[in-house]
């Protein structure tokens, strides 16, 4: 039996491009290459509620779709969270590309700084070339924007980090920011949740699965620096809300640990082999 995991390849272009002309090659690609595989597959695995909806929109019968998220396998992580400074630390982890809308987050930091001067925004990741025009040169534009906004002392670009070095950055942060236009899943959201960071995110990938109805942070209704700033300030100034959101996302993240996810895959494959 064939089991297919699209991993964002079904309708991602619908979110990334505005014009029908730009979307046309992808729609043709779907007809030529994806319709048949989805038809002959016994099961289609969606990794988030957002992708589940895309599968249905693509025309896949709901009884063929199984929701199994990506997993997280933490290792080399110290149990105690120890902040090394009194700074209030915001964090982003991911590729530095226009899709991530880091310019919006920088503008939000400028607004937050007026209320919370000790704010520090750490950006983990690097610029890489991609299929979208304008990817290269985006980091330089961000550096110019940082200077224009006069927040150079509040923003740190630290490059790619992995393993314990990355885990330490998560542990020393207070809030996780995510402003992507589109994500199939968004693994950094899950990592941040495991490290008890409340999330302020656009409604992409696994964000809503982790945040629920603003219990684990806040879903941003529109890509707007003022809305981001307002939600950041609310979470940072309300200690009880921050604590409750921190616990909520951590509890949610436990559902994504690798042992739990592996069991779901085992059930799927066993069921397909038995023709269940």
**Residues in CB range of 31: below 8 A, 6 or more apart:** none
Do 229 and 99 lie in a common domain?
Answer: yes
Are 164 and 182 within 8 A, CB to CB? no
Structural domain of residue 266, as residue ranges?
A: 3-71+257-273
H or E element that contains 218: strand 217-220
> Domain total for the chain?
2
Is the predicted pLDDT of residue 132 greater than 60, yes or no?
Answer: no
Q: How far is CA 149 from CA 103, 139, 143, 154, 230, in A?
A: 11, 15, 10, 10, 18
Rounded average pLDDT over 147-151: 98
Q: Residue 55 and residue 46: Cα distance in Å, rounded?
A: 8
In a domain, 79, yes or no: no
Joined tokens for residue 250 = 């951590």
Rounded average pLDDT over 119-124: 98
Do 12 and 54 lie in a common domain?
Answer: yes
pLDDT of residue 204: 93
Rounded average pLDDT over 111-119: 97
Whether this model's pTM surpasses 0.85: yes
Do 266 and 141 lie in a common domain?
Answer: no
pLDDT in tens, 61-105: 999 999 999 988 877 676 565 655 678 999 999 999 999 999 999
Compute the C-alpha angle 35/38/43, nearest 5°. Answer: 170
């Amino acid at each position: 039996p064939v089991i297919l995991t699209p991993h964002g390849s079904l309708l991602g272009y619908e979110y990334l491009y505005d014009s029908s002309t730009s979307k046309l090659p992808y729609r043709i690609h779907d007809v030529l290459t994806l319709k048949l595989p989805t038809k002959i597959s016994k099961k289609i695995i969606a990794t988030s509620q957002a992708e589940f909806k895309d599968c249905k929109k693509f025309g896949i019968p709901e009884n063929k779709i199984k929701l199994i998220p990506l997993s997280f396998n933490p290792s080399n992580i110290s149990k105690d969270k120890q902040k090394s400074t009194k700074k209030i630390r915001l964090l982003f982890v991911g590729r530095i590309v226009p899709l991530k809308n880091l310019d919006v987050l920088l503008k939000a930091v400028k607004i937050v700084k007026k209320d919370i001067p000790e704010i520090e925004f750490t950006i983990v990741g690097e610029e890489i070339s991609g299929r979208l025009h304008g990817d290269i040169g985006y980091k330089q534009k961000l550096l110019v924007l940082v200077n224009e906004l006069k927040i150079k002392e509040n923003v740190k670009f630290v490059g790619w980090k992995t393993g314990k070095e990355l885990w330490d950055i998560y542990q020393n942060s207070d809030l996780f920011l995510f402003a992507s236009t589109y994500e199939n899943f968004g693994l950094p959201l899950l990592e941040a949740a495991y490290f008890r960071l409340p999330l302020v995110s656009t409604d992409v990938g696994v964000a809503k699965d982790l945040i629920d109805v603003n219990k684990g942070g806040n879903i941003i209704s529109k890509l707007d620096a003022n809305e981001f700033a307002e939600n950041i300030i609310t979470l940072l100034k309300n200690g009880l809300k921050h604590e409750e959101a921190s616990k909520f996302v951590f509890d949610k993240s436990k559902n994504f640990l690798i042992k739990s996810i592996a069991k779901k895959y085992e059930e799927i494959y066993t069921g397909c082999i038995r023709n269940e």
